[in-house]
Structures are given as structure tokens and as C-alpha cells.
Amino acid sequence: MRNARQWVIAALGAVAGFALVNFGNIASSVVVMVLVVVFLLVLTTPVLYPRSVSDDASRVLAAERSVPLVYWRPGCIFCLRLRVALLMRGKKAVWTNIREDAAAAARIRSVNDGNETVPTVFVGSEHRTNPSPSWVIEQFV
């Protein structure tokens, strides 16, 4: 997590320098910086995802609705790629944040050789780690 913060600080510094050089004044640079910060916050928080439910509840919901069960965590660019690629279908899937539920994290570790690799998508008894969005779209009944 510490390395991620250092990269964010470096990226913000680079954007600030770019904005100052290209826009020529501090006011424009501040606007660009605020937009970049808001963009980064949206990307690294659960804003784009449906409300996360517990592992037990998510298994039941996914089975009842016949939709994929997606395990994810905030800040995961691959989870974000999947969520954006699914568009409106993504809201129909069941999303479980492994940072909020220890049981969900344990399930992910059990199928990924002890690693908490996300997104991991379950459809029935089948699972795929970091699947292509097209595969996930095909799983919607």
C-alpha cells in the first residue's frame, strides 16, 4: 500500500507539472489536479460497484439469480476493467469485496493457490481468475 501512495504522489506531481506548463497559470493547474484526484478516488473506491454482500449471502444470491459471482477488491485495475466492460450487465452480477469479508478472501485463496487474486468469477461450481469480459458476459442467462 505504501508503494501505491508513492506512485499516486508521483503521478499527481507529474500531472501538476504538465498542467502548469500547458495551461500557464496556477488556477488551471489546480482545476486539473482536483479532477485527477477525483478520478483516482473513483477508480480506487467501490463507487462503480454494486453494494458488496457477505460471502454466504452472495453465493445464495448468485444461485437464485443465475448470475456470475465476482470477487473483487478496491484499487484492483483488473476488477475495474471487468466492471467497465460489463457495463449495465455488471449491476446484475453479485459483487463481493474480499477486503470486507474474511470468508470471501479465504474462498479466493482456496482456489488460487493461496493467493488473493481478483477478479475471480464463479458461475455455479466453475470459476475463473481474471477472466476475459466476453466470457463473463456469456455467463449471464
Residue 116 · residue 98 · CB < 8 Å: yes
Please say whether the dihedral angle defined by the alpha carbons of residues 85, 89, 94 and 99, taken in this order, is positive or negative.
positive
pLDDT at 107 over 80: yes
Q: How many CB atoms lie within 10 A of CB 1?
A: 5
The CA distance from 108 to 135, in Å, is 19
pTM above 0.85, yes or no: no
The least confident of 8-12, 49-53, 125-129 is 8-12
Q: What is the pLDDT of residues 79-88, one digit of tens each?
A: 888 988 887 7
